[in-house]
Amino acid sequence: MTHIDAGAELDPVHPVPVPAVRATGLTAAEVAERVARGQVNDVPARSSRSLPDIVRANVFTRFNAIIGVLWLVMLFVAPIQDSLFGFVILANTGIGIIQEWRAKKTLDSLAVIGESRPTVRRDGTAAEVGTSEIVLDDLIEIGPGDKVVVDGVCVETDGLEIDESLLTGEADPVVKRPGDPVMSGSFVVAGGGAFKVVRVGREAYAAQLAEEASRFTLVHSELRTGISTILKYVTWMMIPTAIGLVISQLVVQQHGLKDSIARTVGGIVPMVPEGLVLLTSVAFAIGVIRLGRKQCLVQELPAIEGLARVDTVCLDKTGTLTEGGMDVTELRSLDGYDETYVGKVLGALGESDPRPNASLQAIIDAYPDSEEWRCVESLPFSSARKYSGATFSEGNGESSTWLLGAPDVLLPAGAPALADTGRLNERGLRVLLLARAARDLDDPEVSRTVAPAALVVLEQRLRPDAADTLRYFAEQNVRAKVISGDNAVSVGAVAAKVGLTGSTVDARRLPEGTEGMARALDDGTVFGRVTPQQKREMVGALQSRGHTVAMTGDGVNDVLALKDADIGVSMGSGSEASRAVAQIVLLNNSFATLPSVVAEGRRVIGNITRVATLFLVKTVYSVLLALLVVCWRVEYPFLPRHLTLLSTLTIGVPAFFLALAPNTERARPHFVRRVMRYSVPGGVVAAVATFVTYLLARDYYTGPDSLDAETSAATLTLFLVSMWVLAIIARPYTWWRVTLVAAMGLAFVLVLVVPGLQRFFALKLVGATMPWVAVAISAVAAVALEFLWKWVDRRFPA
């Protein structure tokens, strides 16, 4: 292996010589000195919002401010019963803070498990340390798949190639030599080496960008964006409506100023869908906690939502369908090469690579190193070229150059060995060719005119859960595409073993251009000999057809595709680079966890859509009732206590259970449109039915206490119509959903029949005529709701 000490390196930004770094790295005393000076990589790797941020986000909201002011007013002008809505908001805010704090603790504990730990050489000894323990001038060793976590300058290189595409956008790996800069956010694709740290903490600008990009976030979600849009429209409607209601109630004033103020506040408070944001946060937070128990780290919260919308999953064979390890099952010598001699070559090749991949590790296990051979030069494996190599000085003084890689890449078409390779690939076996090269290893054409020496047959270990997982995706109408760098026939055979059917395509024959590749991806299922750049192009081609794409992988060759996919899923044992760019990391390395993530996302989105409809029906009928009251110049029919009771029984309690219930329906786009198409007709029907009952009751009842009787009749109608909305939202019925709806109805009946509750909520049905009229109007409204919602389904399909 080549080992080079740098006498003078160049700073990555200012090209001036910097002092040489000893190959042994810093001493313990030098590390302590730099820590004392604060020259430590102290940028916090935040995986979630801090507790103060959580409290601020849940407490200081626009609607909390509105309701808080109204609550203070009610505490001074009305009985405590009319201030219940304020205590509900306090409880809701507390629940939101507690649930998000629980989610934060879950994420932080999982982030520690999945945290990258660079290898630092100190006092001549290499050891893994936390990213925050790196100090200035540390010597960090890197190899394939490692992410560069701080800025530095190369000191040792051995065929080192670094991909800087995440920083520069350039996909081609950059060959690094001593003195060349390395930047945080890049990652190693081939070779190895060591670099000296020249910037730590907040001085490393690229490190700040990497931290910001990978931070746990609550934004860029269609669900949250949709809710924000709805709340913006609600605010616009609330302001003029509330002003008109205030003026009209103060002008009416037939029952005193305090009563008018109470009824004004009673009209404004229900316009605010205060629980909608809370339940969305709680549903996401509980989703994070549930997935955390299954060792699934959600690095970006909307990933739960995103994976639920996925209709195409691109799978990398290695680490997804198969386990990481392999076994050498057969060695076939070619062209008269002695098997013992071939074994020595393989052992020497294994020793030449300090960071072997799974294939080479299987060879190392089967063929120990021969001490007679000395490695003069090595070429690490690269996904782009599909082979590795080394030049050896043999015991007899001769030197030879050997390549180990894909037979169909190293051999010309029609070579006899390819026939054997094809038959082995059809059985799902992986085959590598050992060949002697006639050219020097640093020759760009070294793979030309090689002499085949042996075929190394490897058996891959299938994941026992792969077949069940693929079956789940098929049942959920999610298409699976296997995209691998291995031989297409071999990959196809492995896919068939786990029950994935469809045509197999060699990616080297794929058409150029996005449109042609998109057509090929629609027709094919398994793709072999795919380069890292092609993986990225395939993701883009699928997205161009309107597909929502998830990409799974664990290797450095998957990073570009993981980054560009709508959802990137990495294995916990995968490379640091793949874990850094993925939104979801499966810390238990189990592909079988993916259905749980999909199910959790569907539960969140489907249930929040249901719940949002409930809340917005209330907003619509509250605004419309206020407008009708202003136009008719009558007193607002409700006190805050009435609407607090109705909101709790028809929205608050049911919504909490519905938001956390199982839901397997695939998420659909256009959240705002889908919610509003039900909320508007539902709210209009509820408001009209309630106001008609109220007007009829005003004509029917007379006397000084008539307003209480009118309010009670209107409350009965609004409750029954709201209950019918809840009954529609709760479909399809299960035993617990029926029990939930029935329990809410029973609770309202108790309020009407228990004298103490009657007095507390100021509800008492007077006589028999108006209550039955209210029931009849509610029945007509229920029929109208059924008709309107079916018409909406036909006229405006989701």
Residues annotated as catalytic (active site), given as ranges: 316
HSE-up of 785 (CA within 13 Å, CB side)?
A: 28
Of 722, 684, 692, residue with least CA distance to 710: 692
Kindly state the tokens that stand for 22. Answer: 């000893």
Kindly state the tokens that stand for 490. Answer: 């071999």
Contacts of 70 (CB under 8 A, 6+ apart): 86, 265, 268, 269
How many helices, marked H, and strands, marked E, lie in the chain?
Answer: 28, 23
Beta strand 567-571 pairing with 322-333: unpaired
Determine the 3-state secondary structure of 352 from DSSP.
Answer: helix
Q: How far apart are CA 171 and CA 185, in angstroms?
A: 14
For 285-289, the CB contacts below 8 A with 24+ separation are: 285/99, 285/100, 285/102, 285/103, 286/99, 286/103, 286/660, 287/600, 287/601, 287/603, 287/604, 288/103, 288/106, 288/107, 289/102, 289/103, 289/106
Amino acid at 634: V
Taking the CA atoms of residue 526, residue 532, residue 538 and residue 539 in that order, the dihedral angle to the nearest 10 degrees is 110
Taking phi over 0 as left and psi of -120 to 50 as alpha, with beta for the rest, 488 belongs to alpha
Q: How far apart are CA 735 and CA 744, in angstroms?
A: 14
Cα separations (Å) of 766 from 692, 693, 763, 769?
Answer: 17, 14, 10, 9
User: Which DSSP symbol is given to 47?
Assistant: -
| Buried b or exposed e, range 259-273, using 16+ CB within 10 angstroms | bbbbbbbbbbbbbbb
| Buried b or exposed e, range 136-146, using 16+ CB within 10 angstroms | bbbbbbbbbbb
Determine the 3-state secondary structure of 49 from DSSP.
Answer: coil
Kindly state the tokens that stand for 331. Answer: 């060695």
| Buried b or exposed e, range 73-98, using 16+ CB within 10 angstroms | ebeebbeebbbbbbebbeebbebbbe
Of 69, 474, 107, residue with least CA distance to 272: 69
Q: How far apart are CA 101 and CA 625, in angstroms?
A: 38
Q: How far apart are CA 533 and CA 511, in angstroms?
A: 14
HSE-up of 786 (CA within 13 Å, CB side)?
A: 9
Residue 249 backbone phi and psi in degrees, to 5:
-70, -35
User: Which DSSP symbol is given to 649?
Assistant: I
Contact 623, 241 (CB under 8 A): yes
Contacts of 117 (CB under 8 A, 6+ apart): 128, 129, 130, 131
Q: Where are the alpha helices (DSSP H) in 455-572?
A: 466-475, 488-497, 514-523, 532-544, 559-564
Beta bridge partners of 197: 152
Beta bridge partners of 158: 192
Contact 446, 401 (CB under 8 A): yes
Amino acid at 153: V
